[in-house]
Structure 1
C-alpha cells in the first residue's frame, strides 16, 4: 500500500491511497494521515480510487483521522471509493460520517 499527500493552491490536502488497506498496511495510512490534524481548518480529501481492498483496520484508521481532523476544526471527505469499500462503510453505518460517495 502507498499513500502520498499533496496540498493544492487553495490549501486543500489530498491524500492519494493505492493498494490494499488492511491490518498489515494500515499503519502506513495512519502515519500519512496523523499529521494532518495539525492543519487546523484544512479540508482533507482522501482519494481511494486506487484502493483495491479495505478491511475494518483501514476503516478504523479513516475514522480516527476524521475524528482528529474534525476536532482541530477541519473536514475530511472520501472520494473514489470502490464498491467494496463503500459496502464496508455502509455495513458499518459510517458512509455519511465519512462524507463518502
Structure 2
C-alpha cells in the first residue's frame, strides 16, 4: 500500500479504513511511506493498531522507505523497534 501526503487527525480515518484487517486472513502488508511528508500521533496509533491486528491474525505489517521527517518521528516514539521498518520498498518486500 502506498501512502502519500500527511497522516494526521484529519486524514487518519482513511488510513484506518484501508488497514482494516477484519476480513483478511493472515495479512501481509507493506506500507510504502516514500511520499508521506508528515505523521502525527494519529498515524502512529493507526500503524500500531494495524500491526497488532496483523500479528494477532498471523500476518505482519512492514514499513518501507520513510522520509527523513517521518523516520525521525518513528524513531522518537520507538515504532521502528516494534514494527519492521526498511530503508527501501524492495527491502521490505524481500524480507
Q: TM-score range by the shorter chain?
A: 0.7 to 0.9
Higher helix share: 2
* Cross-structure match for 1:79: 64
Unaligned runs of 5+ in 2: 87-95
Secondary structure, aligned partner of 2:79: coil
Q: How many residues align?
A: 86
2:51 to 55, 66, 71: 66
Q: Does 1:24 pair with 2:13?
A: no
TM-score (structure 2 length as normaliser): 0.83
CA distance in 2, matches of 1:68, 1:84: 26
Q: Does 1:94 pair with 2:79?
A: yes
Root-mean-square deviation (CA, aligned residues, Å) is: 1.2
Unaligned runs of 5+ in 1: 1-14
Q: Which runs of 4+ in 1 moved over 2 A?
A: 36-42
CA distance in 2, matches of 1:48, 1:25: 15
Higher strand share: 1
